[in-house]
Structure 1
Amino acid sequence: MLTAHTIKILQSLDKKKFRQKYNLFLVEGNKTITELFNSNFKIKEIFSTDPQKLDRPDMSITHISENELKKISFLQNPKDSVAVCYLNEEKKLDDSDLQLVLDGIQDPGNMGTIIRLADWFGIEQIICSKDTVDFYNPKVIMASMGSFTRVNIIYQDLGEYLSETKNVNIGTDMEGENIYSFQKPEKMNLILGNEGNGMRPETEEYIEKSLMIPRFGKSQSTESLNVSMAAGIILGQLFGVRE
């Protein structure tokens, strides 16, 4: 049985300040929780309405009622289990041949989808501006579908990073080079800007080339693509022309 104090702490983890205060975040659903078992994330405890489904005799799993699950879940329709995990200490990896750089991405769904895309295409690291949505946000964790366990995500001053990186900094712009004729450099950063405002001017200063996705439809009603959708199209093309 969950105590009122434990419930209060777990409910507070939807806010960044409390995740940092307690050094904890939540992962929901057996499928995503099993991703944790082979990752470097440390699990503090697991609460489940059916512990046997997780099949982890080496791990203590607390049985809770469906009513208790509803109290600690951030989902409208709670799944079977909730894992309480410790935040990982940030550690930057060396720049790889292709990295994503996020400049002020705010929507948790977009962030989670971008993490999932990075995992799909084998991108090991995402560099985020300090005001990009926290990837420990419950909605980001849910949208990433476990991919957050395989992608290194760090937050730092983008000006500092972009001025020092040896990768070519590539942005997106409606006046940029057609993605379908673009010759990918050996090492590059794909920079994705804020959903509403795009890249901030101080980030644009470090852009060496810009890309655009041409519009083939005749309608002018669609002004732009969702940032995660654009990322998927660009990555698909970049990897599609690899030798």
Structure 2
Amino acid sequence: MLTKSHIKLITSLSQKKFRQQEQLFVVEGIKGINEFLNSSFKLHLLFSTEAIFNAETIIISEKELQKISNLKSPNRALAVFYIPKKKHVEPNGLILALDDVRDPGNLGTIIRLCDWFGIKKLVCSNATVDCYNSKVVQATMGSLARIDIQYVDLQAYLSDYKNDVFGTFMDGNNIYSETLPDKGIIVMGNEANGISEEIEKLVTKKLCIPRFGDLKATESLNVATATSIVLSEFKRE
């Protein structure tokens, strides 16, 4: 049965400080929950309106599910998983780095893109939105279970890196004309300000996604959209 302590815990996990304190996060929806159940993530609690999971489940009513859900239309189930212990992301292969990406939807989409394009390692600046934010988790559609994510002092991390660091800028080289390697770090910047000045100094190769419109009036691309183009070009090479 759903208890008051369950409700208190789950609602508190909408805030980052309580997620960090409890080392727990929420996953909603059957598909997303199954992705995490089939991963290395450890389950803490599982609630569902019917017995559909191969895991210990607390059966609750739709009305009770609405009490604990962050969604306007809850999708039959909600689970609480443990946040895994921090892992060191080895700086090899192709790595994506985010410089202060703040929008949960953008981060969730970028995590899905990493999964799609086979990027196993995602490095985030400490000011990037928390990947266990419920909106991020929902936007990843389960891809969060398959990507190694590390939060770091990005400036220090890039300073210690020995291979090329790529970044997108309006004055960079046309990405469609470049020969792109299978290793390196690709930095994507903040939604409003792009890559910060401190991080720009550490970029060794500047790239540009050219505009093809007649007026060329659009100032920039959404960071998730730009990430999809960049990753596609790196993988195409």
* TM-score normalised by the chain length of structure 2: 0.97
Where does 1:23-172 land on structure 2 (aligned, <5 Å)? 23-51=23-51, 53-54=52-53, 56=54, 59-172=55-168
Any idea what SS the aligned residue of 1:167 has? coil
Q: Residue 220 of structure 1: CA displacement?
A: 3.7
Contact (CA 8 Å) 1:95, 1:167: kept in 2 or not? no
The whole-number CA distance in structure 2 between the counterparts of 1:210 and 1:47 is 48
Structure 1 residue 181 corresponds to structure 2 residue 177: yes
Q: Tell me the residue number matched to 2:205.
A: 209
Q: 2:218 and 2:64 mapped to 1: Cα distance?
A: 44
Q: Give 1:93 deviation, angstroms.
A: 2.6
Measure, in 2, the Cα distance between the counterparts of 1:218 and 1:15. 45
Unaligned runs of 5+ in 2: none
Partner of 2:5: 5
Q: Percent of aligned positions with the same letter in both sequences? A: 49
The alpha-carbon deviation at position 39 of structure 1 amounts to 1.2
- Compute the displacement of 1:167 (Å): 2.7
d(CA) in 2 for partners of 1:174, 1:232 = 17
Inter-partner Cα distance in structure 1 for 2:174 and 2:144: 31
Alpha-carbon contact 1:112-1:135 (below 8 Å) kept: yes
> In 1, Cα distance between the equivalents of 2:100 and 2:128?
4
Q: How does 1:180-199 map to 2 (within 5 A)?
A: 180-199=176-195
Kept in 1, the 8 Å contact 2:2–2:58? The answer is no
Distance 1:189 1:153 in 2: 14
Question: When the two structures are aligned, how many residues end up with a matched partner?
Answer: 237
AA matched with 1:102: L
The letter of the residue matching 1:78 is P
SS of the residue corresponding to residue 177 of structure 2 reads coil
Give 1:96 shift.
2.7
Match of 2:128, as an amino acid?
T
CA–CA distance in 2 between the matches of 1:45 and 1:186? Answer: 40
| Secondary structure at the counterpart of residue 27 of structure 1 | strand
Distance 1:75 1:217 in 2: 38
Q: Amino acid of the residue matched to residue 31 of structure 2?
A: K
Task: Give the letter for the 1:30 counterpart.
Answer: I
The structural deviation recorded for 1:204 is 1.0
Structure 1 residue 186, shift from structure 2 partner = 4.3
> So what's the TM-score if we normalise by structure 1?
0.94
C-alpha distance in structure 1 between counterparts of 2:234 and 2:89, whole Å = 22
CA contact (8 A) 2:29 2:78 kept: yes
Once the two structures are superposed, residues 87-106 of structure 1 have per-residue CA deviations (whole angstroms, 9 ceiling, x without a partner) of 11110131232110000000
